[in-house]
Amino acid sequence: MFDVIVVGGGPAGLSAALMLGRALRTTLVLDSGEYRNAPAAAMHNFLTRDGTPPRELRRLAREELAVYPTLEVRDLAVVGVEAAEGGFRVTLSDGTAQWASRLLLATGLADDLPPVEGLAELWGRGVFHCPNCHGFEVRDVPIAVLGSGYRYAELALHLTRFGSDVALCGNGPADLGADMVHLLADHGVAVREEPIARLVARDGELEGIEFVGGPPLARRAIFTGSRLRQRSPLPAQLGCAGFDDGTIEVDDFGRSSVPGVYAAVIAAAASGTIAGGLVDKELLSADLGLPSPLSAAGS
């Protein structure tokens, strides 16, 4: 029996494994090979690894973990888990089973993308969700924001720092109040409300947007949102409490609602990035005359 089985071989799971290996805990990391950032060419806002491909980060992490004798990493998915005497029985995709005293879930989230033709094929390569992660790389190229309502209008305003050619494409009515319409116009953001027919690409590179009616719009980058969901059925199988976005509910120490089950949901290394991002949003909101993101979060 292992002390701990870590389910998930991304940065969160591998970081947890490093801590456990240094504590000489017998630990098995199970990696299904599914990662939320797999489509991205590079990761950003990670000190000393800015611009590193996600695959390379995982390779380097595994290389570091290899020196710890109580750690083992296997490229297998977990297909089932259940409470057993003294811990948990974990069934693997090769038909075998392993046992552990504790489980640490680092299964992550998955994106359900807007149903626009051509969008999924460009996800992470011409269509993005995070301006802090990808905005710098697409500065000074024509940008579109795909979505309607205040959230997407605010995103379009924030993206004007990266270039002067930003358009908000509502894929239908943009659903904005008069004040926001004027604010977008003041910052040179065009608004298109025709339904979107498809995204156009050539040789895997985004070229633009075609609408059901109206002229096409040449774009080199698009930012939009996604609906998040828990990637794995394991938290539900175990009965872990969770939130609407699929995140497992944990206390300050990573403990879930199920005794013996822990979850990695926020990496400590990200705290500086989160704080820096909030400062940036506060400054931008002040510059644009928008409410503070902290007051919006509390309302």
Cβ contact 246:233 at 8 Å:
no
Q: Are residues 107 and 241 in the same domain?
A: yes
Structural domain count of the chain: 2
Q: Are residues 55 and 11 in the same domain?
A: yes
Q: Are residues 216 and 243 in the same domain?
A: no
Is 138 within a domain? yes
Whole-angstrom Cα Rg for the chain: 22
Cβ contact 228:220 at 8 Å:
no
Q: Are residues 191 and 60 in the same domain?
A: no
Is 178 within a domain? yes
Q: Which helix (H) or strand (E) holds 149?
A: none
Does the predicted model carry a pTM greater than 0.95? no
Q: Are residues 100 and 247 in the same domain?
A: yes
Question: 249 exposed, middle or buried (CB, 10 Å; 0-12, 13-18, 19+)?
Answer: middle
Q: How far is CA 227 from the centre of its chain?
A: 10
Is 125 within a domain? yes
Q: Are residues 79 and 50 in the same domain?
A: yes
Q: Are residues 143 and 50 in the same domain?
A: no
Q: Which domain holds residue 89?
A: 2-111+227-266
Q: Are residues 98 and 178 in the same domain?
A: no
Q: Are residues 25 and 11 in the same domain?
A: yes
Q: Are residues 97 and 231 in the same domain?
A: yes
**Res 278: pLDDT:** 60
**Res 277: pLDDT:** 61
CATH of the domain at 143: 3.50.50.60
**Res 296: pLDDT:** 54
Q: What parts of the chain have a pLDDT lower than 70? A: 266-280, 282-283, 294-299
